[in-house]
Structure 1
Amino acid sequence: MRIYFLSRRKLILLLMFLITIGGLLTINLLTQTIPSLVRTPGTYYMAKTQEKVVALTFDDGPDPVDTPDILNILKEKDVRATFFVLGKAAESNPALLKRLVKEGHEIGNHGFTHDYQQRKLVAEMNQTDQVVFNSTGNHTYFYRPPGGLVSKTQMEATKRNGHVVALWSVDSKDWRNPGVKQIIDNVMKNVFPGAIILMHDGGYQRTQTVKSLEPILNALKASGYRFVTLSELRTLDSDLK
């Protein structure tokens, strides 16, 4: 067995190299996981059920271009979903909030400004809830933190504020704009009874999401799935009965 000795200079260079690689791996890991941090204890990310039901959810809207296209598809397919609206976007599009409720969809709370750190968590939650109430007469019940990032303290504050932290168990990863086929595959390869599916109707251009939605709905229906809102999903959860 050979034993190699490194000079002080080489050792320092090696350590610097390893630190750099470690940093790059950490950055890459964070990039790949946001907003896919799911299955956090104390949050609602799936229902325990044998029935083939799923809850389709959309974040970051309402958007004046993409949300109507998504609503048109959902209406044509007779599918109801849950929309986690940003207060800032909702304030600018009250007619879309009214349409969401009129067509049987549920409105969730996604904060007001999409602040990942949620520095004004309760204030933003209440601000968005008021915007929704002003347009629809309904209050929000579910809260989805931006990026799915939530600490124990934030979960406790959300609960005290009368909201349930709702995440997801199937990420379409449409936020990456990976291509229509990939978005469809991300859903269909990971779906299961009781799953909560994450998609987006705002934030950026969602052309790929719009194009992938109908094939996803068709494929899930062909596999025997039906669609429910988050509130309906909870009524089917055997752990909550």
Structure 2
Amino acid sequence: MRIYVLSRRKLVLLFLFLLTTGGVLAITQSSLTAPSLVRAPGTYYMANTQEKTIALTFDDGPDPIDTPDILTILKEKNVRATFFVLGQAVQANPHLVKRLVMEGHEIGNHSFNHDYQQRRLVEEIKQTDQEVFASTGVHTYFYRPPGGFLSKNQLETVKKNGHIVALWSVDSKDWRNPGVKQIVDNVMKNVFPGAIILLHDGGYQRTQTVKALGPIIDALRDRGYRMVTLSELKMLDSEIK
């Protein structure tokens, strides 16, 4: 499985690149040391609702080892989620994408090869959408940029391409592999009505995420939360943040 790592120098260069291409609008993090989430206008990161409903989202898959385990848990718990897939992973594992859709989950677009600089932004979105459609007959509606990086110009480009940029409001920090209990705590200490929770089913080994998922679902239900897909969550909120 592929490991996504940026050195401090590369991170600085990336930041400068984004500044020169329209200014950084959204800087979040999945596979790096995370700065604070910048909630940019025109991105969707939560629903404006008091209803105890949240969306579980998974990035970087489908993975042939961890995604099936996650799907099994979701099926056992009767939970639907949203998976932001990489085109190259869809290409390698079309059967998993079919299973995602057959079991009622939503597919989001996470680029083709997780290029942080998104030098082929439109091409990668379209290529990933084509791979998803070829395997499932459905098109992607939401786009989540790799690492959450997006410039103002790129945001406008994504919108013109017909996608909504979807980020997150609760980071499980499972990308750090901090331990199962810590992943659960990161979610439960920060969850709120309308939250979008970030988890991962690919990128590199997600054993801790798999083990944490059941306890997260149980703890959310104990607090009265309902878990839905991102599209279902958005229906509770008519305005994009």
TM-score range, shorter chain: 0.7 to 0.9
Q: Secondary structure at the match of 1:58?
A: strand
Deviation at residue 238 of structure 1 after TM alignment: 5.0
Q: Which amino acid aligns with 2:114?
A: H
The equivalences for 1:108-187 within 5 A come to: 108-187=108-187
Task: Answer yes or no: is 1:75 the counterpart of 2:72.
Answer: no
In the TM superposition, what is the alpha-carbon distance from 1:42 to its structure 2 partner?
A: 1.5
**Equivalent residue runs for 1:181-200 within 5 Å:** 181-200=181-200
CA distance in 1: counterparts of 2:220 and 2:212, whole angstroms: 12
CA distance in 1 between partners of 2:147 and 2:40 (Å): 13
C-alpha separation in 1, matches of 2:114 and 2:41:
22
In structure 1, how many angstroms separate the alpha carbons of the residues matched to 2:211 and 2:38?
A: 25
2:96 is the alignment partner of 1:105 = no
| Ranges in structure 2 where 5+ consecutive residues have no aligned partner | 1-8, 14-28
Superposition pairs of residues 32-47 of structure 1, within 5 angstroms: 32-33=33-34, 37-47=37-47
Q: TM-score, normalised by structure 1?
A: 0.85
Contact 1:38 1:167 in 2 (8 A): no
1:188 touches 1:216 (CA, 8 Å); kept in 2? yes
Task: Return the offset for 1:64.
Answer: 0.4
SS in 1 for 2:203: coil
Number of residue equivalences: 213
Which of 1 and 2 has greater Rg? 1
| TM-score where L is the length of structure 2 | 0.85
Structure 1 unaligned blocks of 5 or more: 1-22
Q: Identity rate of aligned residues, in percent?
A: 75
Quick one: structure 1 residues 127 and 238, their matched pair in 2 at CA, closer, same or farther if it must change by over 3 Å?
closer
CA-CA distance at 1:33 after TM superposition:
1.6
Q: Say what the alpha-carbon RMSD is for the aligned residues.
A: 1.7
- Post-superposition Cα deviations, 1:125-145, rounded to whole Å, max 9, x if no partner, equal 000000000000000010000
4+ residue runs over 4 A deviation: none
- Measured after TM superposition, the shift of residue 237 of structure 1 is 1.1
Give the AA of the match of 1:33: A
Give the AA of the match of 1:89: A
